[in-house]
């Protein structure tokens, strides 16, 4: 199974496992930014 992830104009077909990896990386990035914001304020 493949998911279609649209990035701007170009649609890219991504396998579920790759999609999970991308989502996890994005989540980790958001978490890091969030923690940093908490420490700053």
Residue in the structure block whose two tokens are 């990386």: 25
pLDDT tens profile 7-40 = 555 555 667 788 888 889 999 998 998 888 877 7
How far is Cα 21 from Cα 9, in angstroms, rounded to an integer? 22
Burial class (CB in 10 A: 0-12, 13-18, 19+), 32: exposed
What's the pTM value of the predicted model, to 2 decimals? 0.47
């Amino acid at each position: 199974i493949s998911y279609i992830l649209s990035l701007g104009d170009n649609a890219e077909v991504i396998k579920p496992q790759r999609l999970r990896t991308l989502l996890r990386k994005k989540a980790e990035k958001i978490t890091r930014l969030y923690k940093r914001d908490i420490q700053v304020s």
